[in-house]
Structure 1
């Protein structure tokens, strides 16, 4: 049996990566928590949001450190600002759009393990800032990305599913 150890963590180049135009600092992963959760700090800018999607395994909690998100889930459109959080249960289609120029978010995903998918597709951060020279979800061919995500229980929504489950989500961005 693997015994978990107490530790402290902060965002550093050693635990930070660039993924689809987002600076992601992994503060805790499944191997650190016995699979209980992943904890990441992310810095994102408008245009780096993932397409509408659904997780089969993870519940997500986002706490906004700075900036603002518009979150679409369960027929609701929620504006989430600095100092506020939003919970997105597994098996619930959802999406978000960054409303401020940048957004700084703490994300808790439970159970742990989803970050393994991201870690299969990211690049080491060269600086503790949002990358400016990287393709995003909006500019990338997502064929390989979707294949990796499917292995981890995440699926992008079809246009019909977006219309059905995420009223208010813009069909053109």
Structure 2
């Protein structure tokens, strides 16, 4: 595939709703010959994924607005607007949104993570965080976990969370 220069901004034609999160895919694997995915996400408390691990991707988050508490590699980071957090592959991690909403840029390398997400999302009907959608906390994750497993992403068991992310609150 020959890559092409392009300009893209968050819009309905490149945005989806996934588990209560508005995701605008600004660059995906096909755009970059698999080099990286780049997205803008808007999310609210309660839409966070469970603790998990990526076998293939490194993730870099830049916070535009709001605040996250990130749990990774025995550490806890509070990451606020204007700050970044890097989560290397093979390191179990999780995050909890500390503000009402959080607005994040995500660079994921190599590309391909959105291939999994795109099997489960829905076209955004508005450029807002969906309010009437199942989240990780309310959905049956059986199908989600089966898809993620095919793409090298695995949710941690309660025992793994206790061992590898001891500061992560047990209530989640």
Query: TM-score, normalization: structure 2?
Result: 0.99
CA distance in 2 between counterparts of 1:8 and 1:85 reads: 24
SS in 2 for 1:32: helix
The 5 A counterparts of 1:155-170 are 155-170=154-169
Q: CA deviation at 1:151?
A: 0.5
CA distance in 2 between counterparts of 1:6 and 1:171 reads: 46
Partner of 1:84: 83
Moved over 6 A (4+): none
Partner of 2:7: 8
Q: CA deviation at 1:22?
A: 0.3
Query: TM-score, normalization: structure 1?
Result: 0.99
Q: Is residue 23 of structure 2 the alignment partner of residue 24 of structure 1?
A: yes
SS in 2 for 1:161: helix
CA distance in 2 between counterparts of 1:167 and 1:6 reads: 44
CA distance in 2 between counterparts of 1:3 and 1:21 reads: 34
Q: CA deviation at 1:85?
A: 0.2
CA distance in 2 between counterparts of 1:8 and 1:147 reads: 34
Partner of 1:59: 58
CA RMSD in angstroms comes to: 0.5
Q: Any unmatched runs of 5+ in structure 1? A: none
Q: Any unmatched runs of 5+ in structure 2? A: none
